[in-house]
Amino acid sequence: MNALKGVDFTNRIPRGKTYANSGKVYDIKFEDNYASSKVSGKYNNYYDTSVLFRTFTESEKQQILKIINSSESILSSLLNHELPVELYDELTKENIQVFPNSAKDLTPFCNCPDYAHICKHVAALIHVITHEVDKDPFNIFKLQGCDLLELLDYNSTSSNIKNIEDLFSHEHPRYNDENISLDFTKIPDLIELIFTLLNEKPLFYEKDFKSILKNIYNSMGRFTKKNIDEYTRGLNNSYNPYIHFKKEKIPPFKADEDEFEEWLEHIFIERWNKPNQWNDFTINLNDEYKIDNIETNTQTFNKKNIEKYLFAFMTEIGESNISKFNQNINVLYDVYQFTLELIKKHALIPEFFENKGTYYIRWIPAVFNNNIMEIIDNLSVLCPEDLITFNNEKLSQKDQIITAVSLIVNGFLEYYLLYGATKTFKRTYDNSIVKLFFFEGQKFDKIKENNYENLVNQWLSKFILNSRDYELFLVIDEEYAIFNVSVQVRVNDGQIQPVHDVINNTQDNDLKVQLISDTYLINEIFPELHKSIDINENLEFNIDDFSKFFMNTLPLFEIVGINLILPKNLQRAFKPKLVLDIGGTKNEKGYLTFKDITKFNWKIAIGDKKYDVNEFKKLSVTSRGLVKLANDYVILDEDDTKSLIKQIDKLPEKLNRHELLKATLSGEVNGAEVNVDNELMEMITKIKEKDEIKVPKELNANLRKYQVTGYSWLVQNIKTGFGSILADDMGLGKTLQVLTTILYLKNEGLIKKSKVLIIAPTSLLTNWQEEIKKFTPTLTSYIYHGQNRVFPEDEYDIYLTSYGVIRRDEEIFENKRWFLCVVDEAQNIKNPTTKQSRAIKSIKAKHKIALSGTPVENRLSEYWSIFDFINKGYLTSLKKFRRNYIIPIEKERSSDVLNNFKLITEPFILRRLKSDKSVIKDLPDKNTNDIYCNLTTKQSALYQEVLNSAIDEVEAHEGMKRKGLVLKLINSLKQICNHPAHFTKSSKANISDSGKMEVLMNMVENILESDEKVLIFTQYVQMGDIMKKLIEDKFNTEVLFLHGSLSRMKRDELINKFQNNSQNKIFILSLKAGGTGLNLTAA
Q: Do 589 and 553 sit in the same domain of this protein? A: no
Please tell me the least confidently modeled range out of 529-538, 859-868, 907-916, 995-1004. Answer: 529-538
Quote the CA–CA distance of 458 and 461 in Å, as a whole number: 5
Residue ending a domain, among 899, 920, 941, is 920
Domain limits for position 87: 2-160
Query: Mean pLDDT across the stretch 1000-1013?
Result: 87
Quote the CA–CA distance of 735 and 733 in Å, as a whole number: 5
Q: How confident is the model over 304-331, as pLDDT tens digits?
A: 788 988 998 998 888 888 888 999 999 9
DSSP string, 683-720: HHHHHHS----PPPTT-SS---HHHHHHHHHHHHHHHH
Residue ending a domain, among 408, 431, 460, is 460
SS3 for 274?
A: coil
Q: Is residue 1083 part of a domain?
A: no
pTM of this structure: 0.81
Q: Do 44 and 67 sit in the same domain of this protein? A: yes
Average pLDDT of the chain to the nearest whole number: 85
SS3 for 310?
A: helix
Residue ending a domain, among 663, 683, 703, is 683
Q: Is residue 977 part of a domain?
A: yes
Quote the CA–CA distance of 906 and 884 in Å, as a whole number: 18
Beta sheet of 300-301, edge-to-edge order: 300-301, 291-295, 282-285, 388-390, 393-394
C-alpha to C-alpha distances, 889 to 328, 855, 895, 1002, nearest whole angstrom: 22, 16, 7, 29
∠366-369-371 over CA atoms, to 5°? 110
Q: Is residue 353 part of a domain?
A: yes
Alpha helix (H) residue ranges in 650-693: 657-666, 678-688
Q: Do 477 and 451 sit in the same domain of this protein? A: no
Would you say residue 434 has pLDDT above 90? yes
SS3 for 800?
A: strand
Q: How confident is the model over 719-761, as pLDDT tens digits?
A: 888 899 999 988 889 999 999 999 999 999 999 999 999 999 8
Q: Is residue 225 part of a domain?
A: yes
Among 899, 803, 890, CA closest to 258 = 803
**pLDDT value, residue 784:** 95
Would you say residue 239 has pLDDT above 50? no
Q: Do 586 and 512 sit in the same domain of this protein? A: no
Band of pLDDT at residue 341, cut at 50, 70 and 90: very high
Q: How confident is the model over 766-804, as pLDDT tens digits?
A: 889 999 999 999 999 999 998 889 999 889 999 999 999
Among 674, 673, 669, 676, CA closest to 651 = 669
H-run or E-run covering 227: none
Q: Do 273 and 408 sit in the same domain of this protein? A: yes
Query: Mean pLDDT across the stretch 423-427?
Result: 89
Task: Find all residues with CB under 8 Å of 479, minimum gap 6, and list them.
Answer: none
For residue 852, what is the domain's CATH number? 3.40.50.10810
**pLDDT value, residue 708:** 94
Q: Do 709 and 631 sit in the same domain of this protein? A: no
Q: Is residue 940 part of a domain?
A: no
Would you say residue 517 has pLDDT above 60? yes
Q: Do 56 and 143 sit in the same domain of this protein? A: yes
Q: Is residue 345 part of a domain?
A: yes
Quote the CA–CA distance of 447 and 179 in Å, as a whole number: 55
Number of structural domains in the chain: 6
Quote the CA–CA distance of 508 and 957 in Å, as a whole number: 111
Query: Mean pLDDT across the stretch 799-821?
Result: 93
Would you say residue 659 has pLDDT above 70? yes
Q: Do 981 and 890 sit in the same domain of this protein? A: no
**pLDDT value, residue 238:** 41
Would you say residue 248 has pLDDT above 60? no
Q: Among residues of the chain, what percentage have pLDDT more than 70?
A: 91
Would you say residue 247 has pLDDT above 50? no
Q: Do 671 and 769 sit in the same domain of this protein? A: no
Query: Mean pLDDT across the stretch 1031-1035?
Result: 90
Q: Is residue 581 part of a domain?
A: yes
SS3 for 539?
A: strand
Q: What is the phi-psi region of residue 1011: left when phi exceeds 0, alpha when psi lies from -120 to 50, beta otherwise?
A: left
**pLDDT value, residue 76:** 79
SS3 for 734?
A: helix
Q: Do 414 and 438 sit in the same domain of this protein? A: yes
SS3 assignment for 87-152: HHHHHHHCCCCCCCCCHHHEEEEECCCCCCCCCHHHHHHHHHHHHHHHHCCHHHHHCCCCCHHHHH
Quote the CA–CA distance of 979 and 970 in Å, as a whole number: 14
Q: Do 678 and 699 sit in the same domain of this protein? A: no
Task: Find all residues with CB under 8 Å of 383, minimum gap 6, and list them.
Answer: 331, 397, 400, 401
Q: Taking the C-alpha atoms of 93, 94, 100 and 102 in order, what is their torsion angle to the nearest 10 degrees?
A: 80
Would you say residue 95 has pLDDT above 80? yes
Would you say residue 690 has pLDDT above 70? yes
Quote the CA–CA distance of 864 and 872 in Å, as a whole number: 10
Q: Among residues of the chain, what percentage have pLDDT more than 90?
A: 39
Residues 922-944 as b or e (16 or more Cβ within 10 Å = b): eeeeeeeeeeebbbbebbeebbe
Q: Is residue 627 part of a domain?
A: yes
Sign of the Cα torsion 850, 853, 857, 863 reads positive
Quote the CA–CA distance of 289 and 164 in Å, as a whole number: 8
Q: How confident is the model over 117-160, as pLDDT tens digits?
A: 889 999 999 999 988 888 888 888 989 988 887 777 666 555 67
Would you say residue 250 has pLDDT above 60? no
SS3 for 166?
A: helix
Q: How confident is the model over 33-57, as pLDDT tens digits?
A: 999 999 998 888 899 999 999 999 9
Q: Do 802 and 696 sit in the same domain of this protein? A: yes
- Report which residue type is found at 608: D
Strands 497-498 and 482-491: antiparallel
Query: Mean pLDDT across the stretch 109-123?
Result: 90
Band of pLDDT at residue 184, cut at 50, 70 and 90: very high
**pLDDT value, residue 254:** 60
Query: Mean pLDDT across the stretch 246-261?
Result: 60
**pLDDT value, residue 443:** 94
Please tell me the least confidently modeled range out of 308-312, 390-394, 447-451, 930-934. Answer: 447-451
C-alpha to C-alpha distances, 998 to 931, 978, 1016, nearest whole angstrom: 12, 11, 14
